[in-house]
Amino acid sequence: MNNPSHFSLLVVDDEPDLRTLYELTLLREGYDIETAGTVQDALLHLKDRTYSAVITDMRLPDGSGLDVLGWLEESGRREKTIVITAYGSAENAVEALKAGAYDYLTKPVDLKQFRAVVASALGRAGAAAAPTIDPASLPSESGASATAAPRPAAAPRAPAAPASQALNRMAGHSVAMQQVRSLVDKVARSMAPVLVNGESGTGKELVARAIHEVSVRSGQPFIAVNCSAIPEQLLEAEFFGYRKGAFTGAMEDREGFFQAANGGTLFLDEIGDLPLPMQSKLLRAIQERSVRPVGAVAEVRVNVRLLSATHKDLAAEVHAGQFRQDLYYRLNVIQIRVPPLRERLEDLVAISEHVLERIAHDAGVSPPPRLTRDALVHLERYPFPGNVRELENLLHRAVALSGGETIDVYDLGLPESVFTDSAAQELDLITENTHGDVLQAVHALAPLVPVEEPLPSNLERHLDHVERDILARALERHRFNRTAAGASLGLSLRQMRYRMARLGVNVGGDADRE
């Protein structure tokens, strides 16, 4: 367990009696304590030294606890902050969390809970701290949702969070992904509920895992649940567990997802697919921080950080009566939007290289295969309705089909519509010329093309006609053997088939000859 004497805390409160109470409580825990009664006094302390955490009242004689948080934010300081106030409201809670507060308490403060949340903020091993943000006191029906802003970089303070494998897997340097990483870093320091929104396949679970892995709960369980994959009649038992004999087949006590995630993080993916009756039960579990297993009489206390994700517009679902408004406001305290792949195509190369390295590592292959320039250009023209997941599946298939060190456009297996689009055809001709396949053949047969022919009015159609003629002549010369005809033009059989299909070149009764 971490030695409490290694932690120094600053307590800011304008009421001497409460300040003394907090000080004595924390001194008994072995912490090094300093106190302040105003914003200015607190800033003087902060300018003089750094602390492990700052505990501040919301209302102070010369300002607000948010002024202290704002100064820490602007200065790039890493102290964890806990805000305490007698004027608890949804607006205060959201503002404190937006300003970077780790947690939020209301007076009168339960001292046991106070000690626990301080221990949790400091990352002390074995701390029984439950996140004390009361979901019922967070976003009101005004629908406020805090989207945190990036925090200036600063040197990490002990205890440092371990490097996140999930964060490392979020490849790309686009502005959109830099914003996502900044948000992950910020919200990981808070216990506020986070809603991750994005299309299917964008990597919402990866974002949730990254939040967990860079938080003080990184050493505790991360339980991911796909809400849309559980039959409705089993939801309550799966979420809250059950007792032996609760129903037919319940041969022994079993924990649910909440109990399995106790002390760690519970990630509810596709939460928008939960039926309304289960939404009501989930709301109570969040409010009470306890669950009642099926067949049990007493409730069981749980301590979980709740993260959720959806591809749906939950605000529209609320308006349509498909999602509970009160549950939406409790989940949507801080929102992270994961952009679709088509909005960050500048990351395509980095993502592809990362995926290919992982595929090669898993297969024990070295070096990992690489994409040709043609393949990359075609990928950039593809809209990727399935986002990063579709790209990963596509590259897995391409690696299996290519069987070599490079992956060409013919190995990708993209839908035919990609190649029939006029822009794609133009791009196809350009990239083919890059390799010189067609140009070499055109130059070799240049005497067959009239030199004084006028400039074509449609270059694309003209070049298609030239290529079609070359393919037909080559096939005829080699008795419609596509392998031999392709080899004479420097093309593989797969490339030959592709060009013949695209240009509509038929070989009549000898179509089966390879």
- Contact call for residues 252 and 295 (beta carbons, < 8 A): no
Cα 315 → chain centroid: 20
Supply the pLDDT for residue 131: 43
pLDDT along the chain (514 residues), means of 10: 73 92 91 94 93 92 92 88 72 69 78 83 56 42 38 37 67 89 84 90 94 88 94 92 85 92 94 94 87 90 92 94 90 90 92 91 85 88 91 90 83 63 45 47 45 70 85 84 84 83 72 53
Supply the pLDDT for residue 130: 41
> What whole-number distance in Å separates Cα of residue 218 and Cα of residue 216?
6
Which domains are seen in the chain, by residue range? 7-133 (3.40.50.2300), 165-339 (3.40.50.300), 356-510 (no CATH)
Q: What's this model's pTM, rounded to 2 decimal places?
A: 0.62
> What whole-number distance in Å separates Cα of residue 340 and Cα of residue 344?
7
> What whole-number distance in Å separates Cα of residue 401 and Cα of residue 375?
14
Supply the pLDDT for residue 90: 53
Give residues with Cβ within 8 angstroms of 15, minimum separation 6: 57
**Which token pair is 212?**
């967990």
Q: Going along 350-478, which residue ranges are E strands?
A: 370-371, 406-407
Supply the pLDDT for residue 452: 53
Task: Specify the pairing of strand 8-12 against strand 32-36.
Answer: parallel
pLDDT, one tens digit per residue, over 237-291 is: 999 999 888 888 888 989 999 999 998 999 999 999 999 999 999 999 987 888 9
- Other beta carbons within 10 angstroms of residue 107's beta carbon come to 14
Supply the pLDDT for residue 192: 79
- Angle (nearest 5°) at CA 97 between 48 and 6: 40
Q: Rg for the chain (alpha carbons), in Å? A: 31
pLDDT, one tens digit per residue, over 1-55 is: 455 558 899 999 999 999 999 999 999 989 999 999 999 999 999 999 999 999 9
